[in-house]
Amino acid sequence: MTDLHALTDGAATGTGDRSRPRAALPALCATQITSWGIVYYAFPVLNPEITSRTGWSAGTTTAAFSLALVVSALAGIRVGRILDQRGPRLVMTAGSVLGALSLVIVAAAPNPAVFFAGWTLAGLAMASTFYQPAFAALTRWWAPDHIRALTIVTLAGGLASTVFAPLTALLADHFSWRTTYLLLAAVLAAVTVPAHALALRGPWPKAPRPSTSLVGGTAAVARSRTFWLLAAALTLSSFAMYAVVVALVPLLLDRGYSTTQAAWALGLGGAGQTLGRTLYATLARHIGSTARTVALLALGGMTTAAFAIVPGPYALLIALSIAAGMVRGNLTLLQATAVTDRWGTSHYGHLSGLLTAPATTAAALAPFAGAALAAPFGGYPHLFALLAVISGCAALIATATRPPRPCQGADAPPRYKGWSSSRR
């Protein structure tokens, strides 16, 4: 089998087609940085000014943003099906146009209703331009060597906040939030529309012959016990993970640390996330899909539990934040490869959309739920203990997500170097 790292210069796709577009990977790196940075990360930077200038409550503006995430989760199912059939070029180009248009509407919104409408359109753009469509494109073009390509794109995406949070703050220092969004919309259109339109022009390989695990089609897979349990495990994990990210700063503030110290802890967790993603390919080569899923979900619960019981010193909390970030970075790629590990690359977009929709919805609701649960549970340490239990439940559920049976055919799940069927 082709080595996992044989990624470039004429390596065959999962269908044996050598026509993968060479510009696709660097283009998707650039567009993931830009799309995430502008459509997602600019909002938390601008939201304080939005509320102060408009008089709208922070709850109202944040609800509009969360609505976009929910819309993205639901639309991702249909987007995935279109990607499987037609490829990424039309979907991602149209999504880029829609993303720029949505930010123009947000910038011009005279009232909350129009603001909500703009973010609803932004949710459709997210579904068409964020990780899931990029993962679908790379999985079809690069399989069975797709993990390194996915890792590269997620490493690039991890730079989105590093690039665009400071840039957004700089623009906001000189312009109003409305003008800042208009300028960012122009950047989004200038970078992502031509990149998607020109770099994703390669022929879309036909889906490989389905493996035996796809007998009965995607509907049968989506109704299977393995699929439902995997979706449940990833949903619980996503809820806990995103609630931890949002609640980390107030947890540290309650323990007497300064805002600057809390912000550094959160930021270094992001650095750990990037570091963790560089390790996933090695993890995938040596640990089977089920064991890998259980281990990462359990590690997420362990780091969350450590935050609940360890008040300091500060250096230890920094180390915990980096470790938790490393787990989060691996979980992003775990979710990206969950379908191919069990059911191959046929219908990846559709199955991945179905699998990640509840997890994305849970991630959107987690910040509100976490804040609402902190007081009733007696404070943030108790909230973190609850989130650790949720992660532990996710890990237990994941023990039952073993691939349905050994697969055969052109679309059999990849067997990375060092794997054995007994470790799945």
Per-residue pLDDT tens over the stretch 198-252: 999 888 877 655 554 455 567 777 778 888 999 999 999 999 988 888 788 888 8
More confident residue, 307 or 271: 307
Report pLDDT for 405: 59
> Assign residue 10 a region: left if phi > 0, alpha if psi is -120 to 50, beta otherwise?
left
Binned at pLDDT 50, 70 and 90, residue 55 comes out as very high
What value does the mean pLDDT take over residues 139-150? 80
Among 17-26, 155-164, 298-307, name the one with the lowest average pLDDT: 17-26
Report pLDDT for 372: 79
Report pLDDT for 1: 32
Q: Domains in the chain, ordered, with CATH?
A: 24-199 (1.20.1250.20), 212-423 (1.20.1250.20)
What does each C-alpha distance from 36 to 166, 255, 263, 392 come to in angstroms? 14, 32, 20, 30
Binned at pLDDT 50, 70 and 90, residue 420 comes out as very low
Q: How far is Cα 94 from Cα 92, in angstroms, rounded to an integer?
A: 5
Per-residue pLDDT tens over the stretch 37-53: 999 888 988 888 899 99
- pLDDT of residue 142 exceeding 70: yes
Per-residue pLDDT tens over the stretch 285-306: 888 888 999 999 999 999 999 9
- pLDDT of residue 389 exceeding 80: yes
Q: How far is Cα 351 from Cα 333, in angstroms, rounded to an integer?
A: 16
> Residues with Cβ < 8 Å from 210, sequence gap 6 or more?
217, 344, 346, 347, 409, 411
Report pLDDT for 209: 58
What value does the mean pLDDT take over residues 48-65? 88
What is the pLDDT of the chain when averaged over all its residues? 83
More confident residue, 388 or 214: 388
Q: Do 229 and 400 form a contact (C-beta atoms < 8 A)?
A: yes
Q: Which of 308, 331, 277 is nearest to 385 (CA)?
A: 308
More confident residue, 218 or 361: 361
Report pLDDT for 19: 61
Q: Which of 270, 262, 277, 274 is nearest to 312 (CA)?
A: 262
Report pLDDT for 165: 82
Report pLDDT for 217: 67
Report pLDDT for 193: 98
Report pLDDT for 260: 79
Q: Which residues of 89-115 are buried (b: 16+ CB within 10 A; e: fewer)?
A: bebbbbbbbbbbbbbbbbbebeeeeeb
Token pair belonging to 204: 């879309």
Instruction: Name the pTM for this structure.
Output: 0.75
Q: How far is Cα 403 from Cα 108, in angstroms, rounded to an integer?
A: 49
Token pair belonging to 14: 């999962």
- What is the distance of C-alpha 385 from the center of its chain? 24
